[in-house]
Amino acid sequence: MKKNDVIIALDFKDRKETFEFLDKFTEEKPFVKIGMELFYGEGPDIVREIKARGHNIFLDLKLHDIPMTVRKAMKNLALLGVDMTNVHAAGTIEMMKYALEGLEEGAKEAGRERALLIAVTQLTSTSEERMQKELLIDASINDTIVKYAENTKAAGLDGVVCSPLEAAMVKEACGTDFLTVTPGIRYPGADKADQVRVTSPSDAKAIGTDYIVVGRPITKAEDPVAAYRKVCADFL
């Protein structure tokens, strides 16, 4: 697996739409992200099918439960053959350690490399105000993100999901080898849709993030293959 890559978010409602999109890629096999909508709608077979076509898969299910439950779930995800998956850092260092063990167990049983495991720090949809008022977290949102990233590193995970603008802060606190996976990618002047703070692929590269997750700028483009190639040319 490449150290840096462009991951296409397959935010489609079902397998039909997903494969209509993937069929456009006749030359390259992009790294793709499968999220909750597609996974819960189609079940684990969608992962097996996309994997069998030769794509690397980031399964974005953001696990958060008691440690033993997460460990057993992660083992099953490893047996599915995913290449990257994630948990909520809010589940604590212990939960993250168990998640990693589950992935290791599954990888061993399947005779393959362990998938990368990354954590979500604070969802970008959570404002500092809500975090402080509703979750009673007294710190600033940036301090919380850095602390959660440090916990993630302490648990032995590979990195975190964060906005490109947070990536520099996370790298400073956790080191350059600690992976950052960043959504919120847009070209200047393009429709931001529901993203608030956005970064272009070349700026994401300059910041030093490792993987970018790009959805609509590629999936809704008139020519998705050309759009994917442009993002790759600008980021890689």
* Residues at the interface with ligand C5P (CB under 6 A): 9, 11, 35, 123-124, 161, 183-185, 195, 213-217
Q: How far is the CB of 7 from ligand C5P (least distance, A)?
A: 9
Q: Is 76 in a helix, a strand, or coil?
A: helix
Q: How far is the CB of 127 from ligand C5P (least distance, A)?
A: 13
Q: Which is nearer to ligand C5P, 63 or 161 (CB)?
A: 161
Q: Which is nearer to ligand C5P, 32 or 107 (CB)?
A: 32
Q: How far is the CB of 59 from ligand C5P (least distance, A)?
A: 12
Q: How far is the CB of 165 from ligand C5P (least distance, A)?
A: 11
Q: Which is nearer to ligand C5P, 17 or 101 (CB)?
A: 17
Q: Which residue's Cβ lies closest to ligand C5P? A: 215
Helices (H), 43-125: 45-52, 67-80, 92-110
Q: Which residues participate in catalysis according to the annotation?
A: 62
Query: Where are any strands of DSSP class E within the chain?
Result: 5-9, 31-34, 57-63, 84-88, 116-120, 159-161, 179-182, 211-214
How far apart CA 64 and CA 145 sit, in angstroms, is: 17
Q: Which is nearer to ligand C5P, 81 or 201 (CB)?
A: 201
State the CB neighbour count (10 A cutoff) for residue 186: 18
135 close to 75: Cβ distance less than 8 angstroms: no
Q: Is 19 in a helix, a strand, or coil?
A: helix
Give residue 166's identity as a one-letter amino acid code.
Answer: E
